[in-house]
Amino acid sequence: MSFASPPLSSESQNSAPGPSVWGAIWRAVLLTVGLLLLAVGFVGALLPGHLGVPLLIIGLILVLRTSRPARKRFIRMQRRHPNVVFPIRRLLRREPEVIPVFWQQVLRLERRMIPQRWRVAKVLRRKLLRRVREARAAAPRRPLTLAAE
């Protein structure tokens, strides 16, 4: 009885790595870059200026797209702390809602840290919206005309 293995085909004798190996290498590179961006973004978010937040978002996108355990942990965190993760999810969408997320965070921060008599963000927004409405109402309306052929 012989335990001879079948002859190797010419494709398997080739020393070049296959597409799955290159895919794994590419995912590892993207994961490493994402983790580096997360680290730099975290440090940048603590420093004056706002450059760290976009780096955090880009790093988070790369990590969540390349790592299944990170995705599972993010979903678990989302279920446990939905109010914390929801703004992050809004920024991770294809067309992120940056200004509404920023405004929501300003109001949340103001509500948590500033006494009610000193809060100004909500009042300023209402005044601004009132001025915009008044300016629109005061602007003359042009009649619709058909284009000449």
Q: Side chain identity at 3, as an amino acid letter?
A: F
pLDDT in tens, the chain (149 residues): 555 555 555 555 556 666 788 888 999 999 999 999 999 988 988 888 777 878 888 898 899 889 899 999 999 998 999 888 888 888 788 887 888 888 888 888 888 888 888 888 888 888 888 888 888 888 777 776 776 65
Q: Which two tokens stand for residue 130?
A: 């009132």
Instruction: Return all residues near 89 (Cβ < 8 A) that are at least 6 apart.
Output: 78
Expressed in angstroms, the distance from the first to the final Cα of the chain is 92
Contact 126, 140 (CB under 8 A): no
Q: Tokens 């790369």 sit at which residue?
A: 62
**pTM exceeding 0.85:** no
Q: How far apart are CA 65 and CA 13, in angstroms?
A: 33
